[in-house]
Amino acid sequence: MTVPSPAHVEGVTVLSQEHLTDDVYRLTVATTTGGTPGQFYMVRAWEREPLLARPISVHSVDEDTVSFLYQVRGRGTELLSHLQQGGTVALTGPLGHGFHTEELRGRIAIVTGGIGIAPMFCLARTLPPGDVTVIAGFKSTPYAVAQFTDLGMDVRIATEDGCDGTRGFCTEIFDPHIYDMVVTCGPMPMMARVAHLCAEAGAPCQASLEAHMACGVGACLVCSCATVLGNKRVCADGPVFDAAEVIWHA
């Protein structure tokens, strides 16, 4: 698959910043650089520190906007959370290889954990709603799920504290035997479990991996992951991989 050269754009205007939960935000910026489901951008909203931009997956794309759903996890994302309408960011992207949407046919399960739901809305908008089930797990109060319901998709929720949906993990309410295709994104242990269940059931699964990144373009090798085909770069060879190729417990 050929991926166009990414753009680097300074001074991109912030259109909105929504505070969804204690530490989850949705940032929408004005840009025509676009992106496909599963791709990401390196995002920066500061001059000197931290040294590196932050990789954030594409949450939604329209003709002249891109949205990012992100969780505050450190200094960089904390600075992003302070942005307000009219502020500016620097973007490099879109980057990486996204979901193989041409393979997503039949009954499809979207299995996510926590902020792993971020890239799935962009994907969901490309899929036939009657054939898609979204199985989303959260520690506590769910977020960003109503938009899938608005698309006419079946949404099933699991929360660890039992405040909504089924108490427990999303993998406990996921049965791969009833799906033709599965896509997943979330914590590595969760995705490892999804991959194992899919392998047992013979269900093809695409997994969008998360990793610490420095450059985002495959030059630094910081984000390498082990696969049956050798080490791969999450940023440049992924972030979406065939789950059967990933060595989950390397």
Whether residue 187 is annotated as binding a ligand: the answer is no
Q: Is 205 annotated as a binding residue?
A: no
**Cis status, amide bond into 94, omega within 30 of 0:** yes
Q: Is 76 annotated as a binding residue?
A: yes
Q: How far apart are CA 133 and CA 116, in angstroms?
A: 15
The answer to whether the annotation marks 125 as part of a ligand binding site is no
Q: Which two tokens stand for residue 3?
A: 């991926």
What is the secondary structure of 24-85 as a DSSP string?
A: EEEEEEE-S----TT-EEEEE--SSSSSS-EEEE--EEETTEEEEEEE--SHHHHHHHT--T
Measured over the CA atoms of residue 10, residue 14, residue 20 and residue 23, the dihedral's sign is positive
Q: What is the largest CA-CA distance in the chain?
A: 50
Annotated ligand binding at 223? The verdict is yes
Query: Is 52 known to sit in a ligand binding site?
Result: no
Helix, coil or strand: residue 143: coil
CA distance 43 to 90: 6
Was 122 annotated as part of a binding site? no
Q: Which candidate, 133, 132, 134, places its Cα nearest to that of 144? A: 134
Q: Is 56 assigned to a binding site?
A: yes
Q: Please indicate if the annotation marks 16 as binding a ligand.
A: no
Residue 235 assigned as binding residue = yes
- Binding residues, as ranges, are 54-57, 69-71, 76-77, 215, 220, 223, 235
Binding-site residues for [2Fe-2S] cluster, in ranges, read 215, 220, 223, 235
Give the residue numbers of the binding site for FAD.
54-57, 69-71, 76-77
